Amino acid sequence: MDIWEANSISEAFTPHPCNKPLLYPCNGDDCNNHCDKTGCDFNTYRMNVHDFYGPGGQFKIDTTKPFTVVTQYITQDQTENSDIIEIRRKFV
């Protein structure tokens, strides 16, 4: 998970789902075959929301001012040991 790829004009988060549960040892090419290297990023600008994040008052998130980013992982049965079914990102 690339949880916070950002600067003052752009932001994204990128899940890289894997087909193996939890942590596991690997060697060589075996390490390249279990996770999505490219991932599926979520970037508001690329999703055609051009006034969400950037420097200045015309943006919903003005990066010239302090803000907090909260990332929530929602699981299937709302426990830590269940599959993630949703990722929520909130800007405070």
> Domain spans of the chain?
2-91
- Higher-pLDDT residue of 25, 89: 89
Torsion angle defined by CA atoms of residues 91, 15, 45 and 60, in that order, rounded to the nearest 10 degrees: 0
Strands 69-75 and 61-62 come out as: unpaired
Global pTM value: 0.74
For residue range 19-62, list pLDDT tens digits in order.
777 777 777 777 777 778 788 888 999 899 999 999 999 999 99
Token couple for 20:
């193996």
Find out whether 13 and 71 touch, Cβ atoms under 8 Å: yes
**Which alpha helices (H) appear in the chain, and where do they start and end?**
none
Is the alpha carbon torsion for 53, 54, 57, 62 positive or negative? positive
